Amino acid sequence: IGDFNQIPPTLHNPFNDDPMLKRTLRRLIPPTNFERVTKELSKFGDRIVAEIDALGRQCELNQPRLEQHDAWGRRVDELIVCPEWYRLKEICAEEGLISIGYDDKTDSVTRRIHQIAKLYLFSPSAGLTTCPMAMTDGAVKTLKALGLYDKHDLTKESIDRLLSTDGKKAWTSGQWMTEKRGGSDVAGGCDTYAEHIGGDQYRLYGYKWFSSAIDADIALTLARIVEKNGNVQKGSRGLSLFLLRIRNQDGQLNGIQMIRLKNKFGTKQLPTAELLLDGTLAHCIGEPGRGVANISNMLNITRIHNAVASVSGMRRMISLARDYSTRREVFGQTQAKWPLHTATLAKMEVETRGCFLLLMEAAQLMGMSESGSPNEMEVVMLRLITPIVKLYTGKVCVPLISEAMECFGGQGYIEDTGLPAALRDAQVTPIWEGTTNVLSLDVLRVLATSKNVYSLFEKRVTSLLPSNGVSELNEPISAIRKAINQLGAILAKATVTDDSIRVDACARQ
Ligand code: MFK
Ligand code: FAD
């Protein structure tokens, strides 16, 4: 066996190890908040190293399972998730990973930048609890936007509990849109029906094909209301938004059967189920027929969280590869001394920094748009950047994390190191929350429907560029331009009319 053992890569405090994060926070957060926020993030970085990373790893090692029947044959649909998953969800609440974004004691930009920075530190160690957090954030935003807080008991309780910092009281939300025929084409593929039983209450019947973090407390979903004459309206205008409790007060599932857990390529820590809705009691919230438009608040938030996962995954793998390069000797000296290896690391670093700054631009715009009196530029730019940041970072993180894995050589491919999971989990980021093509079409939707979008884009870019033309901000701007160029092939062949967007199927060939 010999007496040599390679020293493994060390995870350092991800905040203190990332000077660019600190520089960016100094630029984006008012000086009065900077010390408080950075001190708190540094402390959280210590907690990630000391406690959270190991909990996340346990979620990968002890994956969820579903037991549908008890020993006597009774249908129980018991979801078994490891204790570390629940502990991480408690930590999310205690650390305010969602509530910070809604803390009205601070200005809207500080709170969103603070929240996104914190999620960025947390995500690679989170055992995918970032997925329920993303949907929880999306649910809060959607429910708040409907303005029902004082008028609807379940909405009020949901918002309060989704934002709770008490780990024992906090709720999380699911987002059930995808059905067998439609994940991208929700409007064409949704066959869930809603039968009215009185007031805003309905019973839902349908089959939800991908439902992640199924240990959640509530869910937002879409269904078609059955009209008095028994008809249902097809297409987007037939879809309405529903809020439901997943379990009744007695702990039993609310007219829901868990048919099976998905056997997935990655995200194995995360329980994703196929669900049969068979008389699920649900509340229609929002105007009937406006379901897609109403749930788009959720989509846009979760897409930004998706970008957090992509960029932080890249950052974590580079940090580990950089550390390893000082420990691994090859051909007589450490990797770090070989120019070809440092060039490889540098190339990844540049791409990651560009993506990071693009993400923080999205976070800043999100904060600006939530100030209570956003201007047109802030609203339209957030709407434009959201699909771009999701599609671009999701697309580039997969090859980049693969390259980073190669920096560990054969060890990068060994499960016990924890490194392969990072690549598996990266591969979902271009797929869920809208595939690259679907988000490209969403960019076209913005270009087709938002007035002044081009001039607002130029205005925003100009405001970011310093007068001497030299800035780290050139990186996100070039990333935006690169992303828009990638859409060029589609744009060139797209036919945009007032009410529809048709794209030549061959456009990307
Ligand atoms: C770890 C971090 C993150 C993890 C979270 C992951 C957990 C969840 C995983 C999931 O994947 S959840 C499911 C995600 N599903 C999708 O992302 C669906 C992808 N498909 C689309 O986004 C389609 O474009 C869409 C379903 C929206 C198409 O629907 P329609 O009804 O055919 O679109 P249409 O008719 O163009 O739009 C209807 C209305 O919604 C329009 O408003 P108006 O009626 O007022 O004109 C649109 O402008 C509006 N709309 C659509 N997308 C919007 C939007 N508004 C704002 N933002 C958007 N993104
Ligand atoms: P399709 O729409 O069939 O896409 C297949 C291909 O067709 C893609 O390349 C796509 O880009 C392309 N395509 C589709 N439409 C167009 C078009 N108009 N023009 C050009 N190309 C097009 N959903 C939920 O609702 N809730 C969840 O909690 C959830 N969790 C998930 C967890 C995991 C791990 C995964 C993998 C998925 C989850 N999903 C969830 C579903 C996910 O959102 C969808 O799978 C995704 O949106 C893609 O939809 P689809 O599967 O129907 O693919």
Q: For every residue of 399-448, which 3-state class applies, written as one string?
A: HHHHHHHHCCHHHHHCHHHCHHHHHHHHCCCCCCCCCHHHHHHHHHHHHH
Dist CA 57 CA 272 (whole Å): 18
Q: Which atom of ligand 2 is nearest to the CA of 208?
A: 25
Q: In this structure, are strands 329-330 and 333-334 parallel, antiparallel, or unpaired?
A: antiparallel
Would you call 508 helix, strand, or coil by DSSP?
A: coil
Could you report the per-residue pLDDT of 133-173, keeping only the tens digit for each? 999 999 999 999 999 999 999 999 999 999 999 999 999 99
Dist CA 424 CA 401 (whole Å): 10
Name every residue whose Cβ is closer than 8 Å to that of residue 10 and which is 6 or more positions away in sequence. 323
Selected residue with higher pLDDT from 477 and 351: 351
Q: Residue written as tokens 């909990």? A: 55
Whose CA is closest to atom 16 on ligand 2?
Answer: 438
Q: Does residue 24 carry a pLDDT above 90?
A: yes
Would you call 222 helix, strand, or coil by DSSP?
A: strand
The set of protein residues with a Cβ atom below 6 angstroms from ligand 2 is 175-178, 182-185, 210-212, 264, 267, 272, 428, 431-432, 434-438, 441, 503
Could you report the per-residue pLDDT of 365-388, keeping only the tens digit for each? 999 999 999 999 999 999 999 999
Would you call 369 helix, strand, or coil by DSSP?
A: helix
Q: How far is the CA of 239 from the centre of ligand 1 (A)?
A: 12
Q: How far is the CA of 21 from the centre of ligand 1 (A)?
A: 30
Torsion of CA 28, 30, 32, 38, to 10 degrees: -10
Cβ count within 10 A of residue 39: 11
CB-CB contact of 238 with 289 (8 Å): yes
490 pLDDT band, cuts 50/70/90, is very low
Please provide the DSSP assignment of 81-129 as one string: --HHHHHHHHHHHHTTTTGGGG-TTS-HHHHHHHHHHHHHHHGGGSTTT
Q: How far is the CA of 299 from the centre of ligand 1 (A)?
A: 6
477 pLDDT band, cuts 50/70/90, is low
Q: What is the mean pLDDT of the chain?
A: 92
CB-CB contact of 301 with 387 (8 Å): no
Burial of 142 (0-12, 13-18, 19+ CB in 10 A): buried
Q: Does residue 504 carry a pLDDT above 50?
A: no
Selected residue with higher pLDDT from 498 and 405: 405
Could you report the per-residue pLDDT of 247-258, keeping only the tens digit for each? 999 999 999 999
CB-CB contact of 357 with 398 (8 Å): no
Name every residue whose Cβ is closer than 8 Å to that of residue 375 and which is 6 or more positions away in sequence. none
Task: Out of 63, 178, 260, 305, give the residue to mutate to test ligand 2, the one with the largest number of ligand atoms within 8 Å of its CB.
Answer: 178
Q: Does residue 233 carry a pLDDT above 60?
A: yes
pLDDT at 508: 34
User: Which ligand number lies closest to the CA of residue 493?
Assistant: 2
Dist CA 445 CA 59 (whole Å): 38
pLDDT at 461: 77
- 257: its two tokens: 């059967």
Whose CA is closest to atom 43 on ligand 2?
Answer: 432
Q: Which atom of ligand 1 is nearest to the CA of 434?
A: 17
Q: Which atom of ligand 2 is nearest to the CA of 182?
A: 52
Q: How far is the CA of 357 from the centre of ligand 1 (A)?
A: 25
Q: How far is the CA of 308 from the centre of ligand 1 (A)?
A: 19
